[in-house]
Amino acid sequence: MSLPDALVASADLALRTLSGGARAARPLPRPASPTHGADHALLAGAWRRQSGALMRVNHVGEVCAQALYAAQALVARDPAVRAQMVAAGREETDHLAWTAQRLAELGDRPSLLNPLWYAGAFSIGLVAGAAGDRVSLGFLAETERQVEAHLASHLERLPAEDAASRAIVAQMRDDEARHAHEAESSGAVPLPSPLRWLMRAAARLMTTTAHRV
């Protein structure tokens, strides 16, 4: 793909991500056992606000993932690394669509700051990608490990009654763990501790803000 075509594709992805036009290639994960009654009770109760806030945070994470992997793919040197970023981004599109659908089911909304989150994540992705493919893979691996831990914490915080949200988050956690493993297997360079700390601090700021706004 030529640079102009790649830029057009990146702009199209940004528009689809921020407009709610993302479409999942895989079916929405659902609980193994039907829980329609419990879900309706949840929607009518106080737990709905907790689930909605947590799923909004997860949706913001997927908005950022779209931007990160699009930027890293744009500046990747090795076609294999570029393809890996694109493939990871496609699965993150599933997550984006799933979290958006669950937010709608909960009667809640995405973050009002999504354009800001997207622009920031795209800029970070460009910097990570420009540092070289192995560093870019290292950034992908560290990002996914942190997201995996974040999703595991959400499984502890989501109401037990909200089996529908829990099924989505569990599948997302498994996908993120696999993305990290694939990046590590492809030659990712471990990131220095100060950079990992900075990434965690930035993620904490984002999740705290997105929980409310």
CA dihedral 158, 159, 162, 167 (to 10 degrees): 30
Is 80 exceeded by the pLDDT of residue 38? no
Q: Is the pLDDT of residue 39 over 60?
A: no
Q: What is the pLDDT of residues 156-184, one digit of tens each?
A: 999 888 999 999 999 999 999 999 999 99
Question: Does residue 121 or residue 33 have the better pLDDT?
Answer: 121
Give the tens place of pLDDT for each residue, 115-153.
Answer: 999 999 999 999 999 999 999 999 999 999 999 999 999
Where helices occur in the chain by DSSP H, the ranges are: 3-19, 36-44, 47-75, 79-105, 114-130, 133-157, 163-185, 193-210
Q: Identify the structural domains of the chain with CATH numbers, from first to last.
A: 50-210 (1.20.1260.10)
- Per-residue pLDDT for 44 more than 70? no
What pLDDT does residue 9 have? 76
Q: Is the pLDDT of residue 4 over 70?
A: no
Taking the model in full, what pTM does it have? 0.91
What is the phi/psi pair of residue 77, to 5°?
Answer: -85, -45
